[in-house]
Homo-oligomer: A and B are copies of this chain.
């Protein structure tokens, strides 16, 4: 059994890790920390876990994280980098669901996250945790920077096109929509029910942290300079992410060949579903599961190719993907503990 610790288990990615790991057949939940909730039973905060998780939160200094095999950080940016070195030294693997180990470019990190990066060595060895594009490295990693939710959809959607050199890399437009849980479990006016339901808006249109992360990764797939317009929107649903990805074809190609390109790219992937050409995936078709579904469109057989991508932002966009990485790191079948059927309706 893999002994698992979770730092910062009170937020949505934390409780989602618990939901998944509680039934993971190879995992023993060993420690979960929260400074504020020290001593509180996890199931008292989240009654959905009554009878499923017996752990109590413990203050970070009391938790014996170094006795775990792997520790997930479901924390604000900056926490994992402060503790990673000690854990690694003790032989504990680290999976950070925040941004500390996502961006290799330290200057970019510091610009976008507004804090100094204090852990360059670990960053240097950290592996970007997107299994479908980076599986081999993840298998051998000691520390994982788990991708952002939006970047996952953009990379999975653009990767086959960029690798094949089919699209103009410098004019990508990603119009993305997220459920409100993506904003986290924070006491903020803007995400109150009465503020965020029956309405929608764009946010961060002029600049958003997920742009540099995505560009850094997409750039690995092509020698042409990548330029990306990423536009996030907040949608009145709890979970779910829908990315509408636009690209311009450089060369003519049949729709059948386009479809084949994606089917080939993801034919062995357990968690990527290439739907029939012209489909319209719904976010609920992946609700509470680690699936990502996508479909291709080519209006008027013209120069625009559109990739529609849906995922559950808390699963494939966060905690499910982190568990997928853990499975790889510990030599388990990748889908272990992740075979939920999406909840519909």
Contact = CB atoms under 8 A, between A and B. Distances in A.
Interface of A: 12, 15, 18-19, 22-23, 46-52, 171, 173, 175, 177, 179-181, 183, 185-189, 191-203, 205-207, 227, 229, 231, 233, 235-240, 242, 244, 246, 248, 273, 275, 278, 280-289, 291, 293, 297-300, 302, 304, 306, 308, 310, 314, 339, 341-345
Nearest to A286: B48
Given A194-B345, A238-B345, A273 B51 contact: yes
A180 B191 CA distance: 13
Given A48-B284, A49-B341, A194-B181, A242 B201 contact: yes
A286 B52 CA distance: 12
Contacts of A244: 175, 202, 231, 233
Contact of A283 (B171, B199, B229): B199
Contacts of A227: 302
A246 B173 contact: yes
A281 to B, nearest CB: 7
Contacts of A291: 51
Nearest to A278: B206
Contacts of A51: 273, 291
24 contacts: A15-B344, A18-B341, A19-B343, A46-B344, A47-B281, A48-B342, A48-B343, A180-B193, A183-B194, A185-B189, A185-B345, A191-B192, A191-B193, A193-B193, A197-B237, A198-B238, A199-B237, A200-B283, A201-B310, A205-B308, A206-B299, A227-B302, A233-B242, A235-B236
A12 to B, nearest CB: 6
A193 B236 contact: yes
B198 A293 contact: no
B341 A205 contact: no
A188 to B, nearest CB: 6
B175 A194 contact: no
Given A177-B235, A193-B195, A200-B283, 18 more contacts: A23-B341, A46-B344, A48-B343, A171-B248, A180-B194, A181-B194, A185-B194, A186-B192, A191-B194, A198-B239, A199-B283, A201-B283, A202-B280, A202-B308, A231-B306, A236-B236, A236-B237, A239-B345
A246 to B, nearest CB: 6
A71 to B, nearest CB: 21
Contact of A341 (B48, B189, B304, B341): B48
Interface core residue of A49, A50, A188, A302 (most chain B CB under 10 Å):
A50
Given A194-B191, A306-B231, A52 B341 contact: yes
